[in-house]
Structure 1
Amino acid sequence: MLIELVKIAKFPGRPWRAAVRTAFGHAAVRWCGERSAEPGEYHVEWTIDEDIVWEYNAKPAVATGPGLRTGGHCVVLRGQLHLTEDGAALLDLAGTKVLLHLGLVRPIM
């Protein structure tokens, strides 16, 4: 996905963070690229480090169209969700596809 890198920062005891902008929103995200990267446009790959579980960390969007924003302790992505035949899902963000792994929903005992 094409992003605009605004700045990179390191806070004590925390991973490198980057302020990024896209055509549909901006957020502060963990930065795994070159620490010497200058502000500008970059093609990046999004990594989601949590299984997606419907109604836990995934739900129908209130707004329409793709979106990206910081949501407290996480980044909120809004797009069109497509299930794959092999048990994963693709989140379409204005033509960029993010692969998601689906978690199993376990009943609460």
Structure 2
Amino acid sequence: MLVELVKVSKFPWSSWLAQVQMPFGGAVVRWCGDQAAKPGKYHVEWTVDEDIVWGRNAKPAVGVGPGVRPGGHCVVLRGRLDLTVDGAAVLDLDGSQILLDLADSLPGGIAGTWVELFIEREKIALYPYEL
């Protein structure tokens, strides 16, 4: 996914964090690239390092379409949720696929719907790559 990197910073109690913007929103998340990265456009891969628990950090979406926004102590990712053949889940975030680990099986009828994930910002990581 192509994101606009606004800035990379670090606080004593945190990992390196990046403020990023996309056409459908923005947030501050963990940055796993060059700590001296300059503002600009970067292709990134998203990862979520938290088990998904329906009703706790995953809920039906308010609205449709991809979205990324701050949500207090967490980041809210809105995308279409699908299941893989081996029982894992994938969040489609505007064409980018984010593999998710499920703590339990999802309720029936959830696959293929718009959902919102509420994930602590340091448990979402961006890995920049070059094409």
Structure 1 length-normalised TM = 0.90
1:56 is displaced (CA, Å) by 1.1
Q: What are the Cα deviations for residues 60-90 of structure 1, in whole angstroms up to 9, with x where unaligned? A: 0011110001111221100110011111111
In percent, how many aligned pairs have the same letter? 65
1:104 is displaced (CA, Å) by 2.3
The letter for the 1-side match of 2:28 is A
The letter for the 1-side match of 2:50 is E
1:8 is displaced (CA, Å) by 0.8
2: CA distance, partners of 1:11 / 1:56: 28
Larger radius of gyration: 1
The letter for the 1-side match of 2:30 is R
Give the equivalent residue in structure 2 for 1:60: 60
2: CA distance, partners of 1:104 / 1:82: 15
The equivalences for 1:1-109 within 5 A come to 1-104=1-104
Q: What secondary structure does 2:5 align onto?
A: strand
Higher relative contact order (CA 8 A, sep 6+): 2
The letter for the 2-side match of 1:90 is V
The letter for the 1-side match of 2:97 is K
Runs of 4+ aligned residues of structure 1 deviating over 3 Å after TM superposition are none
2: CA distance, partners of 1:81 / 1:95: 12
**Higher strand fraction (1 or 2):** 2
State the superposition RMSD in angstroms: 1.1
Is the 1:87–1:101 contact (alpha carbons within 8 Å) kept by the matching residues of 2? Answer: no
Q: What secondary structure does 1:14 align onto?
A: coil
Stretches of structure 1 lacking an aligned partner (at least 5 in a row): none
The letter for the 2-side match of 1:22 is M
Structure 2 length-normalised TM = 0.76
Q: What secondary structure does 1:70 align onto?
A: strand
Is the 1:3–1:42 contact (alpha carbons within 8 Å) kept by the matching residues of 2? Answer: yes
